[in-house]
Structure 1
Amino acid sequence: MFSKNTLADAIRKALLIGIPTLVLAACSGDDGKDGADGSDGANGSDGAAGVDGANGVDGADGKDGVDGSFGGSLTRLATVPLGAEVTGAYVTENGDLFFNVQHPDNSNTEADANGIVFDHGTVGVLKGVNINQLPQNLISVGVPQSDWEKQTVQVAYGEYQVIAQTTDTFGGAMAQGLGTVLAVDGTTVVRSIDDPDFNGFIPTSDTSGYLFTNWEAIPGGMSRLKLDKNTSTGEWSVDSSDVMMLDFGTYGTIANCFGSVTPWNTPLTSEEWGNFGDNTTDWNNPAASSGNRNSLARYTSPTAGSAADAAVFPNTYRYHYIVEITDPAGTATPVKHYAMGRFEHENAIVMPDQKTVYLSQDDTNGVFYKFVADTAGDLSAGTLYGAKLTQDVGSTEPQTTGFDIEWIELAHGNNTEIETWIAEYDDINLDDFVDGQSNYLTNADAEAWAAGSATYPTIANGGSTVTATKAMDDRIAFLESRKAARAKGATAEWRKFEGIYVNHKRAQEAVEGVDLIPNEEVNNAYVYFAIADLDNGMIDDAGDIQLSSRVKDCGGVYRMKLEANYDVNRIEPVVMGGTYRSSLSGALRCDVESLSQPDNVIVLDDGRIIIGEDGFQVNNALWIYNPKGNK
């Protein structure tokens, strides 16, 4: 039994033990309100960087795209005044674009912003713009509408700066005037020429150099002007203390047409028209046209009234060659390269190997030639070839029809030996002509040579009087190159095969793998050329070239891909003029928004080409064409 106090203590202990149980039992009721959020704890330290995952597998290379041939964009870069054609397009290393206004209408009276009237042949440059830095998406200058636009040079970019015009004397430094040809005596004026053609610039520093310009007539000429450029304004100036017309020596030169600059920086000038073509036998025929003979006679014999009374009758075999201007910044000495063949040269372009040269013949039924020099940088000796073409089977449309090339070797020669052959014809004159005979090489001579005959044919069998029955040699390949090429089977059907050109940097990068073009990988490079008229032998449904007459006299541009050793074996069309409209007259015959008889081409560093016109348009244009299309 418990005492009263003991019982009380026991009850008090029991109550204390039961309290937690009672409190926990109260949680089965509704939850109370949430308490306020506590403050955020401090950020923890960054964990260590994870390990990079493995690179994914490269996707398969896409297929190579097809080279652009027919797409592209044609933009009118400039127009020239009434009566003029665009000549002399040349781009310097610094992107200066020279071009000329050849034979503008002498009745032009409107002056440009600088007060220049374009009534004489004009040499100029596109000022204030680097042509190699033009955007890809270009604007065209408009087709001239007003008299002022029609009689001046209009450009889409920059400003056309006139450097000089025909008869300029540069303050008396060139007394007879620019474009004037003097006879062999150095004082008698034979001709003042209004036809500036090729330009080639030979730099002597970053801001100066010599501009060489062809003057196209019979006899022909070439000028050299020392130029300086103000880099702040872009303005060019002529150093009047250093201007000249070149001395072409005893026989002179004729019809200096287009040209080029070699990889070793010497100008090449081309002797084009003025001979009798295939009819050389008539050169000393008194009844034949005498204008060109008389002009040449007045050069070699300043007091002569005509070839008939000249002390030196012109020897036609002394003309129609490629002429190199050696030491261009010094004596500027012309050297005729007989080994490169005699024909109506438009121009020759030397490849970066300094040995391979492609040459165009600007005539009806002309030949495409290749010359390979024996020694790099020396054009005095080598082998001449003619191109035999095979047209794409079943294709006649000019815009899509190409040709394969087979090169036919004509002969190997050198300037010295060929000059001795040329000299054998120096004493021939009008008195030696006999009707039915020839004092010059004939088709019969060419055929005997091609057939491997040991001797030249007799006069009775069509041989010439100079070589009849003599031991056969290779002179015909170099004095009558077209006769020789045709006899060997080369294609002689081209019509007005004009300028031919390559960009040396692009060519070297594509062929040799040398990185020369910034920000562009050049895998393919091309030699371009212009055909002014797709006519005559090209559309006569005979021979190796049988194109349709759709384009005809509107003309077009072709290209040839460079292969190993700078060889070419394929011709493909690039851009053609629109459909020729023979029922219309004047400018309407060729679309004003397309080509009209392209004359010469220049290839820019980025692969775009510049094309000069000599066509039907009221105002001929200088075009820029992008074979790759706008990008």
Structure 2
Amino acid sequence: MGKHIFSKKATTIALGLALTIPALTPAAAAGNGHVTIDSVKFNGMEAPKTIDKMVQTYTNASMDVKYSNGEVKNFPLSYKRLFKSEDKVAENKGKMIPAGTPIDVNGDPIMDTSVEGKPTYYVSDAPDSNSLLNPIHGQQYMVTHYEYQTIDAAGKSAYGIVPASMSLSTLEQNKETGELTPKEVKKIDFSSVNGLWIPCNGSLSPWNTHLGSEEYEPDARSFELDPNSSARTGVESFAKLYFGDKSKANPYFYGFIPEIKVDNYGEASVAKHYSIGRFSHELMKMMPDQRTAFFGDDGSYTTMFMYVADEAKDLTAGTLYAAKFHQTGTENGGAGNLEWIKLGHSTDKEVKKIIDSGIKFSDIFETSDVPKEGFKAIKQYSYGKTEYLKLKPGMEKAAAFLESRRYAALLGATSEFNKMEGVTLNEKDKKVYIAISDQSNGMIENAADPVDDMKLPKIKSGVTYQLDLTEGQKDSTGQKINSKYVAASMSGLIAGEDMPSADTYGNTANVNKVANTDNLSYSEALRTLFIGEDSGMHTNNFVWAYNVDTKRLSRILSVPSGAESTGLFAADNRNGFSYIMSNFQHPGDELDGKKITAVDKTELEQAMEKEIGIDRTGGVGYISGLPSLEDLQNTNRDVKSDLSNK
């Protein structure tokens, strides 16, 4: 692509490219005609077919922009890595440590002593959520999650036993090209909230704070009653590494939404919002009223929750609801109406006071090992099997906000969702998109379950659903819900396609369709839903672009074999530039057990180990080359493509 002319009035439309579309003056517009952007289209890429491509994070997709004068301009996309989680780019007490290294309650790096005499930094290989904040006093910041550690230095599983972390990156932004470069990376201090449990995906609030997550909340029943349970050993390991004292282990410290605020000086502060409820938070997505939120609840036998804050931009007090699913069909994955059950109202301070009192699971519920009068049979994720529970008198608030899923099931909400993950908003159409990564287990017919609300088709490669938002809705008791953004129904939008046997690349789901939808992000300007995969059914995971008007699905990024695509975040406008943030985590992890004949699997694994390292690091970066979405959002804005300078 050739050189393009810049002017003071130019509106930059390409990221990483010296390319402009000059804004026309009224006189020029009159002379040349009123030129606006008519439509955009992603041109997808093929799945990788060679080892050298299968180990890369790359794109050779592009975007066509069609102007109102009939001209079409093609914008090639590319991928830029900011850093890997193993890179020593994070400043910590005067030393540089790997970006993915967690810190303890004192702010010191947590060390891996699994190999005797050779302490090393723990380094998460699982970077996840990115929030590219709106610039603060012109400065660009990014919050990134480091979800977990797959293995330790000795090669043993470290999942769920090592404290997690987040980082705050100060980014330099090239004023001409928009290219981002890390200037400073700092670890975020969670000591005021007892550390950070497994942070999966996250979102940017409308008021420019980062809303994190803590998924797979430790089961308080198993923690209390079974000293050999993973809940007990995991939380005690966490406490030993984080506090230096396993006696400080408490499962009720974890399973909430942390909110990270960055001040005018680039310093981050953290608050955990206990009034939002405790469950397997994949992420929290706020609605345009800045009060209503929907969530992913990751795991098997989980629940759809909705939160309505008392005040806009304030998550310290509100009302929590859980959905009962009333099935209406099975087409394209399935459909149903949603009835909302009120669990209760509380404040962060009230719930934190209950936690600090030392409350245990047995203080909230009575249990029975067999059916018994006065006890209700439920099945939910954290325990994983049918349990018979009875709420103790006066424990409604503790149950609603510390055992949200159990309490919801007791009140009749549906606890049969499976792998409910990413959530995003289409504001114009008043729709929320939500990812069911694996439609099986509780979502299919199972007469042995205590409740069988869901009898949907089994689709292991998952379904992306849309929720229809309306106002004037009432809860299950007939009381009006104080929100204009209540989901009244859900229906399948994009379904995966399971295959009866693997292809030569080891794919067990159609490689030209989404498999195991996970991260979701929506661009209002592009009218496009972006989807990142978490799939063992695809040997290489992809990022997809789905135009909600044309229904066109395009593959736009491939990540290394056996890795998960994470950190998906579409930023329509940051100082006039547009970005699609996208990471990868645990490269090579999903290759184990796959039968691949199209390429030599041993050579592929060797190339993965050489180029990246298997389960050792993850990458943080973004898709570049997008046209400026500032032009797309304003149809009255005159633009003129300089096609003579190709």
TM-score of Structure 1 vs Structure 2, range by shorter chain: 0.5 to 0.7
Q: 1:495 to 1:587 in 2, by over 3 A?
A: farther
Aligned residues: 452
State the partner residue of 1:259.
Answer: 202
Q: 1:610 to 1:590 in 2, by over 3 A?
A: same
Alignment of 1:170-249 (within 5 A): 170=89, 175-190=96-111, 191-204=122-135, 208-217=139-148, 218-240=162-184, 243-249=185-191
Q: 1:407 to 1:326 in 2, by over 3 A?
A: same
Contact 1:254 1:271 in 2 (8 A): yes
Identify which range, 588-597 or 152-161, moves more after superposition. 152-161
- Which blocks of at least 5 consecutive residues in structure 1 are unaligned? 1-93, 97-124, 305-309, 429-437, 452-460, 511-523
**In the alignment, structure 1 residue 547 sits paired with structure 2 residue 468:** no
State the partner residue of 2:221.
Answer: 280
State the partner residue of 1:323.
Answer: 258
1:609 is aligned, of 497, 508, 529, to: 529
Partners of 1:236 and 1:211 in 2: CA distance: 11
Task: Name the one with the larger strand percent.
Answer: 2
2:351 partner SS: helix
Q: 1:555 to 1:580 in 2, by over 3 A?
A: farther
State the partner residue of 2:639.
Answer: none
Q: 1:209 to 1:583 in 2, by over 3 A?
A: closer
Partners of 2:57 and 2:256 in 1: CA distance: 33
State the partner residue of 2:594.
Answer: none
Contact 1:578 1:590 in 2 (8 A): yes
State the partner residue of 1:332.
Answer: 268
AA aligned opposite 1:215: Y
2:58 is aligned, of 154, 158, 170, to: 154
AA aligned opposite 1:422: I
Partners of 2:19 and 2:208 in 1: CA distance: 24
2:507 partner SS: helix
1:192 partner SS: coil
The CA deviation at 1:291 is 4.4
**In the alignment, structure 1 residue 625 sits paired with structure 2 residue 546:** yes
Identify which range, 608-617 or 598-607, moves more after superposition. 598-607
Partners of 1:333 and 1:160 in 2: CA distance: 31
State the partner residue of 1:26.
Answer: none
Q: 1:410 to 1:417 in 2, by over 3 A?
A: same
Contact 1:477 1:485 in 2 (8 A): yes
AA aligned opposite 2:400: A
2:282 is aligned, of 335, 341, 346, to: 346
Alignment of 1:184-583 (within 5 A): 184-190=105-111, 191-204=122-135, 208-217=139-148, 218-240=162-184, 243-250=185-192, 251-273=194-216, 275-276=218-219, 280-283=221-224, 285-289=226-230, 290-302=232-244, 310=246, 312-329=247-264, 330-392=266-328, 395-397=329-331, 399=332, 401-425=334-358, 439=362, 441-442=364-365, 444=367, 471-503=394-426, 507=427, 510=428, 524-542=429-447, 543-549=452-458, 552-564=459-471, 565-581=484-500
1:428-475 deviation per Cα after TM superposition (whole angstroms, max 9, x unaligned): 7xxxxxxxxx64643659x98999xxxxxxxxx9889xx96x644411
Contact 1:351 1:566 in 2 (8 A): yes
AA aligned opposite 1:225: S
Partners of 2:13 and 2:436 in 1: CA distance: 26
Partners of 1:292 and 1:134 in 2: CA distance: 54
State the partner residue of 1:593.
Answer: 512
Contact 1:281 1:442 in 2 (8 A): no
AA aligned opposite 1:315: N
Partners of 1:630 and 1:479 in 2: CA distance: 41
2:226 partner SS: coil
Partners of 2:267 and 2:490 in 1: CA distance: 39
AA aligned opposite 1:151: V
TM-score (norm 2): 0.64
1:88-143 deviation per Cα after TM superposition (whole angstroms, max 9, x unaligned): xxxxxx999xxxxxxxxxxxxxxxxxxxxxxxxxxxx988899xx89633321121
AA aligned opposite 1:136: V
Contact 2:320 2:345 in 1 (8 A): yes
The CA deviation at 1:170 is 3.0
- Which blocks of at least 5 consecutive residues in structure 2 are unaligned? 1-11, 21-36, 63-76, 112-121, 149-161, 378-386, 472-483, 553-646
AA aligned opposite 1:259: G
Q: 1:423 to 1:207 in 2, by over 3 A?
A: closer
Deviating beyond 4 angstroms after TM superposition, the runs of 4 or more aligned structure 1 residues are: 125-130, 171-174, 447-451, 461-464, 582-586
State the partner residue of 2:566.
Answer: none
Q: Percent identity at matched positions?
A: 30
The CA deviation at 1:219 is 1.3
Partners of 1:480 and 1:536 in 2: CA distance: 22
State the partner residue of 2:48.
Answer: 144
1:252-274 deviation per Cα after TM superposition (whole angstroms, max 9, x unaligned): 01111101111111000000125
Partners of 1:162 and 1:546 in 2: CA distance: 43
Contact 2:163 2:242 in 1 (8 A): no
AA aligned opposite 2:512: E
Contact 2:307 2:318 in 1 (8 A): yes
Partners of 1:275 and 1:566 in 2: CA distance: 31
1:237 partner SS: strand
1:202-232 deviation per Cα after TM superposition (whole angstroms, max 9, x unaligned): 1326964110001102411110000121132
Pick the structure with greater CA Rg.
Answer: 1
Partners of 2:13 and 2:327 in 1: CA distance: 37
Contact 1:126 1:161 in 2 (8 A): no
Partners of 1:137 and 1:413 in 2: CA distance: 46
Identify which range, 554-563 or 480-489, moves more after superposition. 554-563
The CA deviation at 1:539 is 1.0
The CA deviation at 1:192 is 2.0
Q: 1:181 to 1:400 in 2, by over 3 A?
A: closer
AA aligned opposite 1:362: D
Partners of 1:485 and 1:390 in 2: CA distance: 16
TM-score (norm 1): 0.66
Partners of 1:559 and 1:608 in 2: CA distance: 13
AA aligned opposite 2:490: I
Partners of 2:233 and 2:38 in 1: CA distance: 46
Partners of 1:291 and 1:584 in 2: CA distance: 40
AA aligned opposite 1:567: V
Contact 1:283 1:316 in 2 (8 A): no
2:212 partner SS: strand
Partners of 1:151 and 1:593 in 2: CA distance: 19
Partners of 1:541 and 1:463 in 2: CA distance: 21
